[in-house]
Amino acid sequence: DGGITQSPKYLFRKEGQNVTLSCEQNLNHDAMYWYRQDPGQGLRLIYYSQIVNDFQKGDIAEGYSVSREKKESFPLTVTSAQKNPTAFYLCATHPLTENQPQHFGDGTRLSIL
């Protein structure tokens, strides 16, 4: 989706290291989401935010942290506490109006060195 930019596309993490995944949007959507995708697991919600300076935990928040200082940006930090970080991470946005879909970025693939 051209309106959501995730970077980097590939990322490698060393043991004990924190890494930050970037998500920027120009869709002017209020809500932003982070999902983790593993083979056969579908999309699992990590964190989401509906307004600047506020965010909520999803189903698998442990080992992750986020911030929402600007409407356009919702970075995700994978901390050293996340023992199995290897996955495909997807950022999504939603305009918070009824009957509208989420829009997704093209993901960041994180691997352990």
Binding site residues, another protein, CB under 8 A: 1, 4, 6, 31, 33, 40-43, 45, 48, 50, 58-59, 90, 92, 94, 96, 98-107, 109
Whose Cβ is closer to another protein: residue 2's or residue 16's?
2
Q: How many residues does the chain have?
A: 113
List the structure tokens of 7.
């970077």
Whichever of 38 and 81 has its CB closer to another protein, that residue is 38
CB of 80 to another protein, least distance (A): 27
Backbone phi, psi, residue 88, to 5°: -105, 120
Measured from the CB atom, the residue of 13 and 109 that comes closer to another protein is 109
- Least separation in angstroms between residue 5's CB and another protein is 11
Give min distance, CB of 7 to another protein, in A: 13
Q: How far is the CB of 65 from another protein (least distance, A)?
A: 19
Nearest to 65 by CA among 21, 15, 12, 13: 21
CA distance 80 to 16: 5
